[in-house]
Structure 1
Amino acid sequence: MTCTKLLLTLFLCATFCIQHGWTSYSYCGSATYDRDVSMCCGRTVHTRTSKTDGCCGTEVYNTSSQSCVYCSGGTYHITAPKYTFRCCGYSSQAQLYNGTSHLCCAGTLHVKKRFHYCCGSRTYNYSSQSCCFGKVLPGGSRHGCCGNGTYNYYTQTCCANQARPGGTGYRCCGNESFAGSTHTCCKNQVFPGGNGHYCCENEVYNRSTHSCCQGKLVTGGGFWCCGPDAYNPNNQSCCGGRVVRGGRSHACCGSKAYNTTKQGCCGSQAYHKKKEICCDGKVNDKPKRAECCRSQAYNSKTHKCCSGTVTLGGKGMACCGTGQTYNKTTHICCVGVVLESIGVDNYRCCYDKAYDSKTQKCCTGQVFRAGPDEACCYYNLYNLDTQNCCRYKINQGGRNYTCCDERSYDKTTHTCCRGQVGPGGTGYACCDYQPYHFQTQGCCRGRAVYNTSTHICKTTYPYGVVKRD
């Protein structure tokens, strides 16, 4: 390798390491520098002297004791003590100033004075003047802005941008002020009557003696409204927009009130909860152990609800189909048909037939007499000891046989690979269509069988089985 190529290689390696952060070196403009001992400020390299060093434009400053002030003109200033100096103004007119002795108001510097604040580009004395909409006006700390002037909010009120007589406790009613303790404002008119009084259209009323319902004044305090009428909630109710007899323990059921402690509401009809029951919106007499069967009530001890129909049937009875009951100890229900089960627990349904599951089998809706060594193969029986069922087809075989698609095979001597039966039982696996013994043979890339003691399977190109070296 030539010297030029060697230098180029070293340069490329260094560049790669810097770009990926594998070294303490970095770029500062077109130069490189060691971040552990130097720092880059505005594309200029400086020697790092302290952990508190920071950049201020292209210069270094001590962040613990100095401040870096940036002025909008594009200049940086290092100042001390910290947080003392600021910048005032914009672009080329910006200038540095001491915040403890001067005040910057909209780009204009002023000597700081006691009680003085900014109002636009000017200052004003807060104790004797006010700043309203960028203008300095007479009036001090007890004054606020009102329209184009000021007002004393201890002795005046600002209504519609005009100063009116009356301070604390006064309110506005249109353009006028009024004392809230003695008067009330209704639709921009002042009426006698202070706290506790309210408006009812153009009238003032006291809620302790009157009520207002839809703009209508009614005698009686503490009343509630029911449309345009008032009612006493202690002994009346509002149902369907009408005042009816009732009270606080009542609720509405349709257009009438009912006592919620003793009655219930069934649709729009009230009923007595101890004597009656509501079933699907219909009131029924309440029998013992009452339950609902759609809209009908029944005694659940003596009757059953079967598909919405009440039928006789108590303990030990069950429903079968529509409106039919049966004794579960002597009969069985199969597809809505009641059949005798001779009181034997092992009776089951075979579609619409009953059968003894200990001595019979149900195969696709057909009942066969069968022993414990027989099972169903679709709609036929087969012997588990001598036969095998593969895809609804009965083959010769036994308990050691299993299926390979439609065929059966002895799993102790053969293996099924992708629907084909080949020699090899326990200890064999499949390599594509071929069985192989996984203790002495291998499967190369799912295709070829090879002897693991004499050959190997190459996993790199060219792939395949090759002899061991």
Structure 2
Amino acid sequence: MMTEGATCFGKSKIGMICLVYNVSSNAAFSGQMDGSQHLHCCGNVSYEISGSSCCKGKITLGLSQLVADCCGSVAFNPLNEICCNGTIQTRFNSRAKCCGNVMYLTATHLCCGRKNIFERKENLSCCGNETYNITTQCCCNFPTLQVKSKNETCCPKPPFVNTALNLMCGDDPYNHQDHICCSGKRHKKASVLTMCCGQDAYTMSDDNMLCCNGNLHRDVPEQSECVGGVIYTPENTTCQMSVRPRLGEHCCGGQTFNPSTHICCNGHSHNKINGNFCCGSDVYDHHNQSLRCCSDRLYIQHSSGNAKCCGNLLLQHSNQTCCSSSTNAVIYDIKQNHSCCGHYYYNTSLWSCCAEHLKPTPKPDSPLALKPLMDLIPEMCNKTVFFGKVESVALLNDQRLVMLKVVWQVNVNSGNFTLDPWLLVSLDHCSSPATDNGMTYLWEKEHSGELTSLHTYKLLSHPVDLISDIHMFYSVCYQKKG
């Protein structure tokens, strides 16, 4: 068994030096078997961003850095709190902002000079620490900010607006004619053929670059191809340009493997006698009740443990809850009048949640939570479920119409479940989790009532992998039936 840790040596010329390591141990434990890449350094202490935050070298436990902001050296939840001049305060309104040490609403008041609050009135604006009427006055900045009559020569002229700079890339404006925005990172266009690959930019006419699953590879042989995340040369004879496979063997990372005797898990080959299911780079036997796979991280549980997964974490305490979306899963301490909206935990008196998007208008309905596919086994083995790929989405009033391509239907216990290859599903827009085009989910078919033959459909799982996840679901359900 493996435990993990990190040694942080302080700062060098290139920044913080942090050595992450695994240590073998014979002692029984309840924790992660592998995944030390999730540890980071905070000062000279290691921490995991999924359950803690680091602010100016100080760790705040119990609040993930994925959803936190820093107020000095203390982390806080910006949804429900606000930091004014280094002091954390509980929000009285979701739109509240800081004016010095005081919260105020921009809809009703003005903050001038970052410390003086005035009641908002028509045509009133700030000039330094005071206000002025924009119809009759102006704010001159020479020699200091002063309110003057609008006919004074010091009054500024209307600014020139460059309509080409009307797009944002992260926090920076950019001209789409000269630049391209790749996942929040701005790049200068080399030509009209400049494309994005993750956060990088490349030119399609360059034969020595290849974008493979969002990762840009340079200096690859001409006419190479990306197949399933693996780069193949034109002769299709190498695994990532390093190992030549023998007849009947497949690529697994930079090595080869025989799929009849071995299984490939995230580029690592394992003998099937150790298990037939992958958990990240590890292989495991799903019949072993002491093992639990949480989003590609393998855990060992106590024999009496009944812990649930929260993304790649193991949720074991009754005073905690898990909020998850298609991108993140975060653990929070349970608080009264709080609810989940995707992976955010919000105060229901400040925000409302609609299709995993927070809005300042309160609404009592909370969205349904999706679960990882493994958490739905074996319960879903006895129900009428199917895998459907989202092809397109449209809004009609308060309903979200989802066009599904039924890629596989589960029929373990009955022989009368049939579905069309294409299916139009109607969901309540606000109470249903968000869905992404091109992604496949597990759905449940249920009767809308005992006196009607109409059916409704319920979204159940996080996005699934078309090959490995569906095969795993069918294998487990079929074995349990047997």
Looking at both structures, which has the greater relative contact order when contacts are Cα pairs under 8 Å and sequence separation is at least 6? 2
**Larger strand share, 1 or 2:** 1
TM range (shorter): under 0.3
Bigger Rg, which one: 1
Q: TM-score, with normalisation over the residues of structure 2?
A: 0.24
Q: TM-score, with normalisation over the residues of structure 1?
A: 0.24
